[in-house]
Each structure stands twice: as C-alpha cells, then as structure tokens.
Amino acid sequence: QVQLVEFGGGLVQAGGSLRLSCAASGRTFSDYAMGWFRQAPGKEREFVASIRSGGTTNYADSVKGRFTISRDNAENTVYLQMNSLKPEDTAVYYCFTAPVISNTGRLYWGVGTQVTVSS
C-alpha cells in the first residue's frame, strides 16, 4: 500500500522560508514523478512543482525562482524548499506521486500540510 507522509508546514512571515518533505513508501518510485500541489481556501487545487527520478523538474510560473524541488531516490523522499514566501503562498500543500507514463499506474496523494504566510 502506497503511503505519502508530509512534514514541514507551519507559520512564517512574508519573505521567510520553509522546507517541506514527503516520504513515500509501498512500492518503487523510479518510474514515478513526485511533487506538490496546493489548495488555498475557496480555490481549486493547483500544481506547484514536480520532479522525475532522473532529476527533470517542472514548476508553476508563480513559484519559479522562489521554490526548489529536489528528490532523494534512495529514500523515496521529495523536498520543496520555499524561499521569499508571500501571503498568496498560503495553502494546504499536498504531496503527490504519479507514473511518468500515464496508464501504467495511478496517482497517489498525501494528506496535506498547512503553510501559512503572514504579511
């Protein structure tokens, strides 16, 4: 059974930094991308960043230059370093993992971790 456990959310002032981590277990993830979505109150869940096992990354325009995603394949863990945080980054951040090639597996979600950025 695949499980994703997130760590690292919290309250930070605007301009500050936080680091999220997500540990995955239950299968091998070499053929899975890992990453993050977020959902602010009253808004739809939106993509933040993703990374493949080979290191290829993808970012939402809203976080480029401020957030950095990385991955430890040996530990099946993905990280999101968030710098220069803004109040609009406030959201529940959800870790996900999904097959790089669609239809070869399924999407999995973590339970989410709250990030609050005060102005």
> Of the given ranges (6-10, 53-57, 80-84, 100-104), which has the lowest mean pLDDT?
100-104
Q: Specify whether the CB–CB gap between 78 and 51 falls below 8 A.
A: yes
CA distance to 18, 69, 76, 102, per residue, from 15 (Å): 10, 18, 29, 37
The predicted structure's pLDDT at residue 76: 95
Q: Is pLDDT of 101 > 90?
A: no
pLDDT tens readout for residues 13-39 = 999 999 999 999 998 898 999 999 999
